[in-house]
Amino acid sequence: MDLAEAIKILNCALRRRQPAKFTATWTYCHAPKAYRYIRKNVRTELGDIDWDSVTCKLDKQFQRRWMHLQSKKAKTYRNISEVRKVMKK
């Protein structure tokens, strides 16, 4: 398998399912063969999966549907006395 074949598999899965948005997890569940190839062979210099190089090769209609992982906002801790105790240590 090469990248062109993985993109073809992913495009077919996207055409068949027509998700409003899709992520790496969606790809893992609905196009596992393509995901395995991408995970092993399409990497950045830092070792992460290079989803930008994958999504730019998809059909235009699916490129817009890609959702990067969004980090959740951490709740701030409100107990000031406990925060001060931890900061002193």
Q: CA-to-CA distance for 34 and 32, rounded, in angstroms?
A: 5
- Return the half-sphere exposure (C-beta side, CA atoms, 13 A cut-off) of residue 35: 12
Sequence spans of domains, the chain: 1-89
Tell me the mean pLDDT in the region 5-32.
96
Which has the minimum average pLDDT: 3-7, 16-20, 31-35, 84-88?
Answer: 84-88
Global confidence as pTM: 0.74
Whether the Cβ atoms of residue 31 and residue 9 lie closer than 8 Å to each other: yes
57: CB partners within 8 A, 6+ apart:
3, 4, 7
